[in-house]
A and B are shown apart, each in its own frame.
Chain A
Amino acid sequence: MSETRQTTDDAQATTDSELAGGASPGTDQPLEVTSGETRERTREEWVEHEFEGEAKLSVSDLDVYYGDDHALKGVSMEIPENSVTALIGPSGCGKSTFLRCLNRMNDRIKAASIDGSVQLEGEEIYQDGVNLVELRKRVGMVFQSPNPFPKSIADNISYGPRKHGDLDTGLLANLLGRSDDDAVDELVERSLRQAALWDEVQDRLDDNALGLSGGQQQRLCIARALATDPEVLLMDEPASALDPIATSKIEDLVHDLAEEYTVVIVTHNMQQAARISDQTAVFLTGGELVEYGDTDQVFEDPQSQRVEDYISGKFG
């Protein structure tokens, strides 16, 4: 804990020096970002969030550039275990970028370069020798639009563990009598139950997943991510492409998942964030984390004027 404390102090120091050097009165260009937003300096204490228990993920001083585009600016934040953390903000403010940093999916974007530290249970994930397979097994991800593979429902679920070699169902395994077919069935059922999809699809596990409805597909994607037994589940606007009923199912699901998993969810829907999250982080245009704290506090009594304007719908 003391170590994370230390990094937070560092973050403060950096921000302070930036404030002293770059944002003197009259030249505070970076803070006057979008028309409609009040000018204001981000204060360090707005993003400090006190909580009991362990931090699952601690991010400090995270900067992301896409080429010359500075998409995330010095973000520091601690995400508690077994809770739901909502990331909100206007579009283009870097929510997805931040989320992708947590399982290093940004590595797949050629233009992106990342600077700073992200620790998963105290272990730095941005260092040499990190096993990306292991990292992404522990930090699962669900995307904005449902993207099941064009395979059967059961194959979608078992895909991850199979490719990791945790399950063996190939021809050879069958011949050698080492097949894990029973384990696969069990895994499929467990994952689908966790994703509240089992009752709807249990009779057609061998049907192609593309035949499911959008909401079902998204829950299948959640089940697929759960099948690798992750600790953290990252969700990037998982309900934005869905109708209200499917959305509320996903919301209920997220709520239930928080008992076992650490969920980080991006949403552009503030009511949704208020309903389902324990703490909320507000990013604003320019890639800054402006406020982070208990969801109730952020929504009822925001410390930042810009956040208050954003939440009350003055811009966004």
Chain B
Amino acid sequence: MASATDTALVSEDTSETEAVAAGAVGLAAVLFALSLASVFELVTITDPVAGVPMVALLGGLLVVLGFAVVTFGVGSRLGYVATDPRPTAGLVASTAFGLVWFVVGGLVASQSLGFGTAGWVIGALVTGGAAFAVSAFPREDIGSTLPAGGLALFAGIVFLTGVIGPSWVWNLGWEQQASFNAEFTIPVLTAFCSLLVGWAAAKAYGGFGARGRHVGAYVLVYLNAISIIALLFLLVAFTVLKGLPGLFNGFAFGAGAGPEVTLVGLTFSLPVSWPFVMNGVALLNDVNGVLPAIAGTIWLVIGAVLFAVPLGVGAAVFITEYADRGRFTQVVEIATNGLWSTPSIVFGLFGLAFLVPRLGNQKSLLAGMLTLGFMLLPLVVITSRESMLAVPDEYRDASAALGVTKWQTIRSIVLPASLPGIVTGIILGVGRIAGETAPILLTMSGSVAPPGSQTVDVLGGFQFQSAPPFVTNPELMQATSALPYQLYSLITAGVGQSSNIGAIDEFRWATALILLVVVLGFYAVGIATRYYFRSKLQHD
């Protein structure tokens, strides 16, 4: 049996006390998940869970947890539980507990007891100081369990007794009429307390000491990572759930269900009818859609990439491989970094003031492409340069020693080796430009809700003629929509426009979902491309 002074090299099988601590960690994790779920209103705090209202459940669990952790700490101090604690919980933990209890004391004194400034400061100092002292001076087993478990107990009792009940509102009394309601406060407090108490339980599970700290940190980091991923996932899930009904409104499947198309002289009906992505907005439509905006976004991104990538990679080749490293490359580096952080509205203004007057003096797809291309350019330069610098000089030496010229070396060795990095840059950049609204608003946008007939058809728009400039494409010169702009204009449009569309809220969410899908589609293409280039460079 491991004792406080002499740690066994091999710890024995899970003892009962360890099982209790592990159970507490698990319970804290469950509680954390529950509170996150109620922040996002997946469960409401008044909903009964297994016959008990959610608030009571949260409060009860907090009390149980807090009690368990405190008991464990006291038991360890009194020698009933074999652990390996250090003399103190440490300054960081003590300060954190001190601050937490300072806030608790201050809030109770000022809000619940109604003390004035002097009163609540004294109350806060007393509780904060006590928590700091309890944490810093006794042995680690008391110091890390008592303040955490105490907080959980306190919060649990507050919830259980209804001091903070479902109808509780904390009016901040500010000019802006700001207030916190229970729907938000209770889950957030629970999440916070469960993190703290979970950490304390994890330390207890590790038997305090170095191993306990390790386990404690592990649980904290793990819970954090999971909750962040869960948050992101919820964000996407939220959009998907809200968007799906609008997206599949009027969706039909089967032979001849879809609209007629003509391909290579053959006219036939598509086997699917998907109004939201096949229609524009028109009075006679059964279901309105965003086809023009989808086409606009896709062409916009393609055009910007086609414009920015050759230019950006070329510039990167020049400053990396040809220009002497020195003042000049430094200036270029600073300038590109600065350009990348330039707000998009500035690029939009540039497009409006410089490009639009020169491109037919009207907003157009081409102007939007170029504006976004300019936005993309610095990132392409930065990432291309970085990945070219990462290509080992040994390759260049080997190539030169074979008598191969510099340009051929760049083309056959340096560029292929840096392609995955370049593609990564493009992926990141496309993620940004595909969602841009401001530049599009200024350089390319047409009507708020364009009809299907306004869908750009860039490929079909090329016209050849015998006089210069020989090739023209009126489609490129046409004002059109893009998904982020459409979303923005739907949100800001007046009632008149909205009534045209019908279920406007559904329509907006579906538009957001389609934007998400289009951007993720570009990501998928980019990642597949990168995977392909990378697999050519690596063995297996």
Seen from chain A, the residues whose Cβ lies within 8 Å of a Cβ on chain B are 103, 105, 108, 132-137, 140-141, 143, 145, 147-151, 159-160, 163-164, 207-211, 221, 224-225, 228
Which residues of B (410-446) have their CB < 8 Å from a CB of A? 412-413, 416-417
Closest 7 CB pairs of A and B: A211-B539, A136-B403, A208-B539, A147-B394, A141-B401, A160-B402, A133-B403
Give, as a whole number of angstroms, the nearest-CB distance from B447 to chain A.
46
Q: Which residues of A contact B403 (CB under 8 A)?
A: 132-137, 160, 164, 228
A209 to B403, CA, bound (A): 20
Q: Are A149 and B400 in contact (CB under 8 A)?
A: no
Residue of B403, B404, B538 with most partner-chain A CB within 10 A = B403
Query: CB within 8 A of A149: which of B401, B408, B413, B538?
Result: B413
Can you report 13 A-B residue pairs in the complex whose CB atoms are below 8 A from each other? A105-B401, A137-B402, A147-B397, A149-B395, A150-B395, A150-B538, A151-B416, A159-B402, A159-B404, A163-B412, A164-B404, A211-B539, A224-B398
A108-B400 in contact given A143-B394, A163-B408 (Cβ < 8 Å): yes
Q: Which residues of B contact A145 (CB under 8 A)?
A: 394
Which residues of B (493-540) have their CB < 8 Å from a CB of A? 536-540
Identity of the chain B residue whose Cβ is nearest the Cβ of A147 in the assembled complex = B394
A225-B401 in contact given A145-B394, A147-B394 (Cβ < 8 Å): yes
Give, as a whole number of angstroms, the nearest-CB distance from B536 to chain A.
8
A209 to B394, CA, bound (A): 15
Query: CB within 8 A of B402: which of A150, A163, A208, A209?
Result: A163
B405 interface contact, C-beta 8 A = yes
Seen from chain B, the residues whose Cβ lies within 8 Å of a Cβ on chain A are 392, 394-395, 397-405, 408, 412-413, 416-417, 536-540
Q: Which residues of B contact A207 (CB under 8 A)?
A: 539
A164 to B395, CA, bound (A): 17
Identity of the chain B residue whose Cβ is nearest the Cβ of A211 in the assembled complex = B539
Q: Are B402 and A210 in contact (CB under 8 A)?
A: no
Q: Which residues of B contact A143 (CB under 8 A)?
A: 394, 397-398, 401
Can you name 10 extra interface pairs (CB under 8 A) apart from A140-B401, A143-B398, A160-B404? A105-B401, A133-B403, A134-B403, A143-B397, A149-B399, A159-B399, A159-B412, A164-B403, A224-B402, A228-B403
Identity of the chain B residue whose Cβ is nearest the Cβ of A136 in the assembled complex = B403
A136 to B398, CA, bound (A): 11
Residue of A105, A148, A150, A211 with most partner-chain B CB within 10 A = A150
Q: Which residues of B contact A134 (CB under 8 A)?
A: 403
Q: Tell me if A's interface is mostly helix, strand, loop or mixed.
A: helix
Q: Which residues of B contact A108 (CB under 8 A)?
A: 397, 400
Q: Are A225 and B402 in contact (CB under 8 A)?
A: yes
A147 to B402, CA, bound (A): 12
Q: Which residues of A contact B405 (CB under 8 A)?
A: 133, 163
A134 to B392, CA, bound (A): 25
Give, as a whole number of angstroms, the nearest-CB distance from B289 to chain A.
42
A159 to B400, CA, bound (A): 12
A225 to B400, CA, bound (A): 11
Identity of the chain A residue whose Cβ is nearest the Cβ of B392 in the assembled complex = A147
Q: Which residues of A contact B540 (CB under 8 A)?
A: 208, 211
Q: Are B404 and A163 in contact (CB under 8 A)?
A: yes
Q: Which residues of B contact A147 (CB under 8 A)?
A: 392, 394-395, 397-398
Q: Which residues of A contact B400 (CB under 8 A)?
A: 105, 108, 136
A136 to B405, CA, bound (A): 11
Q: Are B402 and A136 in contact (CB under 8 A)?
A: yes
Q: Which residues of B contact A164 (CB under 8 A)?
A: 403-404
Identity of the chain B residue whose Cβ is nearest the Cβ of A132 in the assembled complex = B403
Q: Which residues of B contact A163 (CB under 8 A)?
A: 402, 404-405, 408, 412
Give, as a whole number of angstroms, the nearest-CB distance from B47 to chain A.
58
Query: CB within 8 A of B401: which of A136, A150, A151, A208?
Result: A136
A252 to B538, CA, bound (A): 30
Q: Are A221 and B538 in contact (CB under 8 A)?
A: no
Give, as a whole number of angstroms, the nearest-CB distance from A3 to chain B.
27
Q: Which residues of A contact B536 (CB under 8 A)?
A: 150
Query: CB within 8 A of A140: which of B397, B402, B416?
Result: B402
Q: Which residues of A contact B401 (CB under 8 A)?
A: 103, 105, 136, 140-141, 143, 225
Q: Which residues of A contact B399 (CB under 8 A)?
A: 149, 159
Identity of the chain B residue whose Cβ is nearest the Cβ of A138 in the assembled complex = B403
Give, as a whole number of angstroms, the nearest-CB distance from B86 to chain A.
47
A208 to B506, CA, bound (A): 52
Q: Are A210 and B395 in contact (CB under 8 A)?
A: no
Q: Which residues of A contact B413 (CB under 8 A)?
A: 149
Q: Which residues of B contact A149 (CB under 8 A)?
A: 395, 398-399, 413
Q: Are B398 and A208 in contact (CB under 8 A)?
A: no
Residue of B398, B399, B416, B539 with most partner-chain A CB within 10 A = B398
Give, as a whole number of angstroms, the nearest-CB distance from B258 to chain A.
39
Query: CB within 8 A of A150: which of B397, B404, B408, B537?
Result: B537
Give, as a whole number of angstroms, the nearest-CB distance from B391 to chain A.
9
A246 to B397, CA, bound (A): 23
Residue of B394, B398, B402, B408 with most partner-chain A CB within 10 A = B402
A145 to B393, CA, bound (A): 12
A141 to B394, CA, bound (A): 12
Give, as a whole number of angstroms, the nearest-CB distance from A299 to chain B.
30
Identity of the chain A residue whose Cβ is nearest the Cβ of B404 in the assembled complex = A163
A228 to B408, CA, bound (A): 16
A140 to B453, CA, bound (A): 65
Q: Are A228 and B538 in contact (CB under 8 A)?
A: no
A164 to B416, CA, bound (A): 19
A86 to B397, CA, bound (A): 22
Q: Which residues of A contact B404 (CB under 8 A)?
A: 133, 159-160, 163-164
Identity of the chain B residue whose Cβ is nearest the Cβ of A155 in the assembled complex = B412
Give, as a whole number of angstroms, the nearest-CB distance from B329 to chain A.
14
Q: Which residues of A contact B538 (CB under 8 A)?
A: 150, 208, 210
A105 to B402, CA, bound (A): 11
A225 to B399, CA, bound (A): 10
Residue of B394, B401, B538 with most partner-chain A CB within 10 A = B401
Q: Which residues of A contact B402 (CB under 8 A)?
A: 136-137, 140, 159-160, 163, 224-225, 228
Q: Which residues of A contact B397 (CB under 8 A)?
A: 105, 108, 143, 147
Identity of the chain B residue whose Cβ is nearest the Cβ of A152 in the assembled complex = B536
Identity of the chain A residue whose Cβ is nearest the Cβ of B324 in the assembled complex = A110
Residue of A148, A160, A207 with most partner-chain B CB within 10 A = A160
Q: Which residues of A contact B537 (CB under 8 A)?
A: 150, 208
A6 to B238, CA, bound (A): 88
